[in-house]
Amino acid sequence: MLMSLALSTTVTVLLCLLGFRKCSGASAWTLKGKIVSGEHWLDDEGGIIQAHGGSMLFHNQTYFWYGENKDAPTEWRSWKMPDQEWWYTRTPALGISCYSSSDLLNWHNEGMALKADGSHEDLEAGQTLERPRVLYNNLTQQFVMWVHVDDAGYSLCRLGMAVSAAPTGPFRYQGSMQANDQRNGDFTLFKEDNGTAYVVTASQKQSMDPRFMLLHELSIDFQRVLPNPFRILPPLDRESPVLFKYEAHYFLLTSGSTFWSPNAAEIFTARALEGPYASWGNPCHGEPMDQHGITFSSQASFAIPLQAPGAPGHFLIMADRWQSNDLKESTYVWLPLHISLRVQKPLQLVSKSGEAANDDNEDPGQDEAVRLTAVRRIALEWRSAWDPHSGLNLPGTSLKYREGRSRVHRLPVAFVARYGSYIHGPEPPDAGLNKG
């Protein structure tokens, strides 16, 4: 035992000297102030960060990282079907963790923002709390958390909501519901430039149906889901939606549905939030090439814009590298994503009604100059160690990439017969939702 302790101490000292581990109070497994993916990260008190399926809120010059605390034994469960049995793993709900940082590198544990303390049936230890998302409401001055709520067998498929006067909580749980009477799985929140908030859900009509994506508007206080959602993706069985905006373009990054196993990401773009969304395929580029099909062994959960000087169009993609046999040992993969746009000529004056103003001598009045742009490339690249603030050396600066072309999924005849040929728009009458 003494030899083992001495060896462990020696290894720790060597890691400190080499710069892989900060030895006093800082977030571990950052290489000289750089993000290193796939390793356990420590907070400023030496504890392993437990914030999986996470999201980020930037408020008052501070980053708040919310995620699932999976520091519990992993359980094996099964779904029994008439002709087969599906096995999966889970951890009992502990709650939603919150960490704070000023630089995305050094993190302080703020404790449980939402505890699974049994105060509500959704907060029992046997339940499931996943993928928390938090927005600040300027009108009510409240922080609003939405979270995927389920039972141990993933049969509830609900969205839970909680509020707090502080970003670190404690959040007061308000209950759960199925948004617009649909089974809700993975989801995300999105706040538009005008302050309107939305929730995007990977939804199903029945448990074995392929998932489709719905866009639901939230009430002015962000605490209720409004009727008349838009279906922005057909039943392609995509999940883990990550919705973000750059310039006048919307980007929807998704994963396949393979539970804890990694798969190929697929990203969609649109000029309007409601769509139509066109697929740009897998955004992974560069080495290692054999990791593209599994998104560098990770599943994306959230995107935040990077403010690095001279690096427009760069985002940090938060992702998880799940360890299905021992979920508390899962690690984080944070990678840079680069979006390049090209300007479409000519520069036009476009009126509010969408009509071009061609008379140069005419006062456009309410017309405004709009430089139309198109997406040129989207690249998510592996970085073993990188600084999110400077010296990015990101895609588009060091490597050449093929220019992608968007495509709309061609739907099979059987799909069209069942769901119709639409790609986006208000739910059809037979979907059980109100028409938009």
Q: Output the 3-class SS for 81-124.
A: CCCCEEEEEECCCCEEEEEEECCCCCCEEEEEEEECCCCCHHHC
Q: Which residue is listed with tokens 């989207």? A: 378
Which H or E run contains 198? strand 197-204
Closest to 46 (Cα-Cα) out of 72, 16, 17? 16
Give the bridge partners for 108, in sequence order.
100
Give the bridge partners for 53, in sequence order.
none
Amino acid letter, residue 28? A
Residue 124 CB coordination number (10 Å): 15
Q: Which two tokens stand for residue 328?
A: 């508390």
pLDDT of residue 31: 55
Amino acid letter, residue 339? I
Domains and CATH numbers, the chain: 30-340+376-431 (2.115.10.20)
pLDDT of residue 312: 82
For the entire predicted model, the pTM comes to 0.82
Q: Over the Cα atoms of the chain, what is R_g? A: 23
CB within 8 A of 66, min separation 6: which ones?
A: 51, 54, 55, 56, 57, 96, 97, 98, 113, 132, 133, 134, 145
Closest to 302 (Cα-Cα) out of 57, 101, 115? 57
Q: In what order do the strands lie in the sheet with 62-68?
A: 52-59, 62-68, 95-101, 108-115
Q: Is the dihedral of CA 21, 25, 26, 29 positive or negative?
A: positive
pLDDT of residue 143: 98
Give the bridge partners for 386, in sequence order.
35
pLDDT of residue 344: 73
Strand 266-270 relative to strand 373-381, pairing:
unpaired
Q: Which two tokens stand for residue 278?
A: 């066109």
pLDDT per residue, tens digit, the chain (436 aa), is: 434 434 443 444 344 444 444 443 444 445 558 899 999 999 999 999 999 999 999 999 999 999 999 999 999 988 776 677 778 899 999 999 999 999 999 999 999 999 999 999 999 988 999 999 999 999 999 999 999 999 998 999 999 999 999 999 999 999 999 999 999 999 999 999 999 999 999 999 887 889 999 999 999 999 999 999 999 999 999 999 999 999 999 999 999 999 899 999 999 999 999 999 999 999 999 999 999 999 999 999 999 999 766 678 999 999 999 999 999 999 999 999 999 998 876 544 444 444 444 444 444 343 344 458 899 999 999 998 898 886 555 443 333 333 344 444 434 334 333 333 333 333 333 333 222 2
Contact predicate 45/109, CB 8 Å: yes
Compute CA 330 distance to the chain's CA centroid, rounded to the nearest angstrom. Answer: 17
- What's the CA gap between 43 and 49, in Å, rounded? 6
CB within 8 A of 294, min separation 6: which ones?
A: 262, 263, 264
- What's the CA gap between 281 and 34, in Å, rounded? 29
pLDDT of residue 128: 95
Amino acid letter, residue 57? L
Phi then psi dihedrals of residue 249, to 5 deg = -115, 145
Q: Which CA distances in Å does 315 have to 45, 305, 306, 323? A: 28, 4, 5, 25
